[in-house]
Structure 1
């Protein structure tokens, strides 16, 4: 049985990663986590079908969504691209003291029925509710692996103790710790924070011990070349790519940036060279 499960995991991983072992994944969970205001600047993108069609045309390797969006927009993801279903989340409407907890809003069986190629869940390492999310992830990973599905951990160090000990959540030592915890809790892919430099991100990659590490795209960068530089350094550090949301859907025409990101991730092009080729400079 283990052999069958391993084959399933490997085959489904390949739907996200090209032969070079890298990927660019579009993230579309912000309407739940941040609220629809994230789409106000370019309101048409609040409709997931519209933005997913755009990112498909531009050539992203996969899309990440929550179960509800996947029910009516999952068909927009082309069959040769990866579909990642995230089973935990939270809203910004929660009281502040409950913001460091992600709750489960779906099950592995739901993701399988939706046609998922990978299943994701978040753990806020260092949160006072860390234990709840650890157990959620363990249950999701155990069942998903039994079914032959890869599991992605959004390994985000967040918590009052972290801020006291490390100064800020993006300190490379705590990001490195989160990546290692993700590996040791059974993740097949890791999405985590940028640490500020190629040298420190390389330590995060080392701590992941061969499990692919993907950049969490974060807030929109006004100058797209600045974001391309970060992604370039991620790749130079041994990272496997990026999961990008706001830097894509908060642009009226995101296709040139997506194509430039593909040049950086898959062709090893310099950021300025990629930007010029796609008309961003």
Structure 2
């Protein structure tokens, strides 16, 4: 029998920890794995030091942050006992050979995430990738261990692969959300499909699981991003996991507050954007 079989308490732990991330069933998660995934190109020169960014994000009151294990270790003095922590256990560099870009590698274990004080763990599956089988196998290893310890698992359900022409196609995103639900995700992060009507179908395909929008590339104007977030909430989504649209903002704290107002207060983008003027 597997050491992960036979537990009778883990489902309670999952619900308790998930409630630390989802406040009233919604969450603004600061996703900060870009140092590995994208490298220096994502950061202005005055923001190379992660603590410079994280201090502002935490001060602004974000619900949770998603960090890689090493960065969580280096910055614990900033986030401890202030925000929920999600440890991402998979990743890749952007300088690996092109034919391996649709493969995520292991970055740690659930046990290591627990030792860091995590409230949840996360892993990416590139649905449609040539390496889909490897990532599914790794996903189930993480899921089995996390369930034993009562840890919720966020799946970054990203349809990517040589056969996928448009990863934002609503049908493709719906497929990824359904695949995440089918494989046991407790929380799903996926692409925004461009409007609330199609994203509502993504939410429906997730079978009642909370779905947060991936923040994606930086929008030209902050209000454009806030409009995306607003549409996600109106579509029944549970919030956003955002990185660049916050840490590349001229007003990091103001942008966090604006996103929080949209997600938690149903504020109109035109009202929320005023937080950037403070």
Give the TM-score normalised by the residue count of structure 1: 0.94
Contiguous gaps of at least 5 residues in structure 2: 1-5
Aligned to 2:163, what secondary structure does the other structure show?
Answer: helix
Q: Which runs of 4+ in 1 moved over 4 A?
A: none
Which residue is 1:63 aligned to?
65
By how many angstroms is 1:80 displaced?
Answer: 4.3
Q: Distance in 2 between matches of 1:274 and 1:2?
A: 45
Q: Is the 8 A contact 1:56 1:78 kept in 2?
A: no
Which residue is 1:181 aligned to?
179
Alignment of 1:204 onto 2:202: yes
Q: Distance in 2 between matches of 1:127 and 1:263?
A: 36
Alignment of 1:108 onto 2:113: no
Q: Distance in 2 between matches of 1:49 and 1:212?
A: 29
Q: Distance in 2 between matches of 1:33 and 1:153?
A: 16
Q: Is the 8 A contact 1:194 1:201 kept in 2?
A: yes
Which residue is 1:27 aligned to?
31
By how many angstroms is 1:252 displaced?
Answer: 3.4
Q: Distance in 2 between matches of 1:136 and 1:49?
A: 31
Aligned to 1:9, what secondary structure does the other structure show?
Answer: helix
By how many angstroms is 1:63 displaced?
Answer: 0.6
Give the TM-score normalised by the residue count of structure 2: 0.95
Q: Distance in 2 between matches of 1:110 and 1:255?
A: 30
Task: Please report the RMSD computed on the Cα atoms of aligned residues, expressed in angstroms.
Answer: 1.2
> What CA deviation, in whole Å up to 9, does each residue of 1:76-124 have, x standing for no partner?
1141421000000000111111101001111111111111100000000
Tell me which moved more, 73-82 or 60-69: 73-82
By how many angstroms is 1:256 displaced?
Answer: 1.1
By how many angstroms is 1:267 displaced?
Answer: 0.4
Which residue is 1:14 aligned to?
19
Q: Distance in 2 between matches of 1:117 and 1:59?
A: 17
Q: Distance in 2 between matches of 1:236 and 1:227?
A: 14
Q: Is the 8 A contact 2:249 2:255 kept in 1?
A: no
